[in-house]
Amino acid sequence: MNYKGINMKKQFISGLIILALGTVFSMNVFAKGDLTRGEASYKVCVACHGENGGGRKITNAPRIAGQQSWYLTRQLNNFRDGIRGSHIKDITGMQMRPMALSLVTEQEVEDVVAYIGTLNGRGKHTGVAGDTEAGKLAYAVCVSCHGANGEGNEALNAPKIAGLPDWYVERQLNNFKSGIRGVDAKDVYGQQMRPMAMILANDEAVRNVTAYMASLKGISIAKPVTAKSSTVVTVVTTPVSEPLYAPCASCHGSEGEGNQKLGAPRLAGQNDWYVERQLRNWRDGIRGTHAEDVYGMQMRPMAMTLANDEALNKVVRFIGTLNGTPLKQTINGNAEAGKTGYMTCIACHGAQGEGNKALNAPKIAGLPDWYIARQLHSFKKGIRGSHQKDIYGMQMRPMAMTLANDEAIDNVASYISTFSAGVSTASTESVEAAPASTVAVNVSGSAENGKTSFAVCVSCHGADGAGNKALNAPRISGQQEWYVARQLANFKVGIRGSHKDDIYGQQMRPMAMIMANEQAVADIAAYTNTLKSAPAASTVQGDAAAGKAVYGVCASCHGANGEGNKALNSPAIAGQHDWYIVRQLQNFKKGIRGSDAGDTYGQQMSPMAMTLVDDTTINNVAAYISTFK
């Protein structure tokens, strides 16, 4: 047979069975076991599952005849290891577990599985009252793994469900939903299934999909395939060129185009460094562990199947070759209003959503609008960006919180969907922020040496670092050593103090430039860290109560009491002069600070300040911060 048009760029992973005239081609899917020994072991199973493996509802035993051997083996081992049958509410599982424990060795498991492969019992449905048409619609989510006919797919770790009794299917779906199954840390594949069951909103939805599954007639693959002459059977799986991507293709598509029905975003065109980070976050539980993150919980066990960095990197590299087209726009938002809302996003994600690795901002051009809206909602609600190790998510969360309501989110998502620049291509090169990487202070400072150098600073900042409004010098006592060092280095190289409107920064810059080297900077920062002065008195007239409400966005980085957070590159602001806070917020808002290409962290702060709509709001925030002592 001549198949034309096959894309030679990729090696298709396909199972192709050709039964030509006069040829019988058979598949052996039995487990490696001894049938005689297996039959003897199966005598324990007969009482519940029946002589022919058809199962019985009265004994809570499902049909096992016709099930794939690999799945039976896994479940027996799960029962033996306590992954199943140990949950206090899993009564029927607890009945099964001691039966599995009677199979002492792996060989005994293989033997009994081999024998079950010879059985041909039929299970009986009880007629679960459900709407099969509604169930068919819901089953669209299940098709990608279990198949259109419920035939299952070993590559996706999905068992055959056609032929399972409806009462058993209903019970297992409810067990996954309620956390009786799919919550054990070792049950990777159960964890994949649980969130799928959780999208079934209620008992009626469970019954509907159960009723539909009962109608499926998947071809039994528990016995060798035989055929009459002149019969031709072709089985083709999803065409992909990287085996590790095969499970991903079922949701994200063979070209990474995504699938809204399955909640799977487009992957094609995304930067490899971001894909890699997210896979690691899922694997490590930084994503996909929040109780409300249904789609994240679907994704996490998939990432966990990537056992090591080599496997993870292979998948990342392969995704970089995909070129699936963007999905159609689905959200009817006001793109013009969204353009205004997007002004906050530009500093990190770029004018056309191209992303910026230096700012840890992913490419968003080409992402589906429904996915962008979902992620903004997740950040806003704390479903994302609240894990203590999700540093970059914590930076993103307050940005999403500035979007006042669902309409504002839809508007921004609609605007982002208009981006076209670089949608189809992903850069695998790092985005440089040259000056920022050259000003890091990587040496330990000597407070004793720094004391001598600090003599120059005393005239403005005071001997105790209390600052002086008359000289426009902020309080520096109480500030973190790492932050003082960074700012001094920034002044030295011109990241700060070189903007034409930064009058006071221009005063400070030459002071920093007299510090001969990195060691001198580190020494002064170390000495500054030893200074003690009282918190600055309030001078700004503002509504602290109103400022408290606005400060909710700031708290995620600077802390509830302005204590700062080095992991988020956020300095302490408690005790600082309110007039200085006002000035810096205005500077960030106007681009006097945070606009230099090398000011990585200032660029993060600038859009935050832009959310403060006017001077009154800025004064209110400063007044509230001045209450921190």
Are 267 and 322 contacting, i.e. CB atoms less than 8 angstroms apart? yes
Are 469 and 577 contacting, i.e. CB atoms less than 8 angstroms apart? yes
**Which residue bears the tokens 């490696």?**
32
- Beta-bridged to residue 61, according to DSSP, are 56
Residues 132-169 pLDDT 10s: 999 998 888 788 789 899 999 887 789 999 999 999 99
- The H or E element containing residue 569 is none
Q: What is the DSSP letter of 154?
A: G
**Which residue bears the tokens 């080599």?**
310
Structural domain includes residue 14: no
Tell me: do 444 and 427 sit in the same domain. no
Structural domain includes residue 222: no
φ, ψ for residue 259, nearest 5 deg: -155, 110
Last residue of a domain, one of 528, 559, 575: 528
Reading the block at residue 467, the tokens are: 């600052």
Are 347 and 606 contacting, i.e. CB atoms less than 8 angstroms apart? yes
Structural domain includes residue 3: no
Tell me: do 621 and 565 sit in the same domain. yes
Are 216 and 292 contacting, i.e. CB atoms less than 8 angstroms apart? no
Range of the domain at 203: 35-213
Tell me: do 372 and 292 sit in the same domain. yes
CA 156, CA 146: separation in Å to the nearest integer? 8
Tell me: do 351 and 478 sit in the same domain. no
CA 420, CA 435: separation in Å to the nearest integer? 30
Structural domain includes residue 316: yes
Tell me: do 65 and 129 sit in the same domain. yes
CA 240, CA 371: separation in Å to the nearest integer? 24
Count CA atoms closer than 13 A to 444's CA, side-chain side. Answer: 2
- Beta-bridged to residue 361, according to DSSP, are 356
Tell me: do 522 and 595 sit in the same domain. no
Structural domain includes residue 137: yes
How many residues are present in the chain? 629
Structural domain includes residue 253: no
| pLDDT for residue 32 | 75
Dihedral sign (CA 101, 107, 108, 111): positive
Tell me: do 520 and 447 sit in the same domain. yes
The string of DSSP letters for 285-303 reads TSSS-STT-HHHHHHHHHH
The closest of 121, 100, 204, 223 to 165, measured between CA atoms, is: 121
Tell me: do 371 and 419 sit in the same domain. yes
List, for the chain, all residue ranges whose pLDDT scores fall below the cut of 50. Answer: 1-31, 220-239, 428-438
Q: Does residue 158 sit in helix, strand or coil?
A: strand
Structural domain includes residue 231: no
CA 174, CA 182: separation in Å to the nearest integer? 11
Are 123 and 54 contacting, i.e. CB atoms less than 8 angstroms apart? yes
Instruction: Give the chain's domain count.
Output: 4
| pLDDT for residue 427 | 52
Q: What is the CATH number of the domain that holds 487?
A: 1.10.760.10
**Residue 68: count of CB within 10 angstroms of its CB:** 22
CA 230, CA 264: separation in Å to the nearest integer? 41
Alpha helices (H) in 30-68, listed in sequence order: 35-49
Structural domain includes residue 91: yes
Tell me: do 460 and 368 sit in the same domain. no
Q: Helix 600-610 crosses helix 578-590 at what angle (to 10 degrees)?
A: 100
Query: C-alpha dihedral over 79, 80, 82, 88, to 10 degrees?
Result: 60
CA 401, CA 423: separation in Å to the nearest integer? 27
CA 51, CA 338: separation in Å to the nearest integer? 65
Last residue of a domain, one of 175, 195, 213: 213
CA 60, CA 134: separation in Å to the nearest integer? 27
Are 54 and 121 contacting, i.e. CB atoms less than 8 angstroms apart? yes
Q: What is the DSSP letter of 459?
A: H
CA 114, CA 39: separation in Å to the nearest integer? 9
Tell me: do 564 and 512 sit in the same domain. no
The burial class, CB within 10 Å (0-12 / 13-18 / 19+), for 192 is: buried
Tell me: do 109 and 204 sit in the same domain. yes
Tell me: do 48 and 194 sit in the same domain. yes
Q: Does residue 174 sit in helix, strand or coil?
A: helix
Are 46 and 64 contacting, i.e. CB atoms less than 8 angstroms apart? no
Contacts of 549 (CB under 8 A, 6+ apart): none
| pLDDT for residue 263 | 86
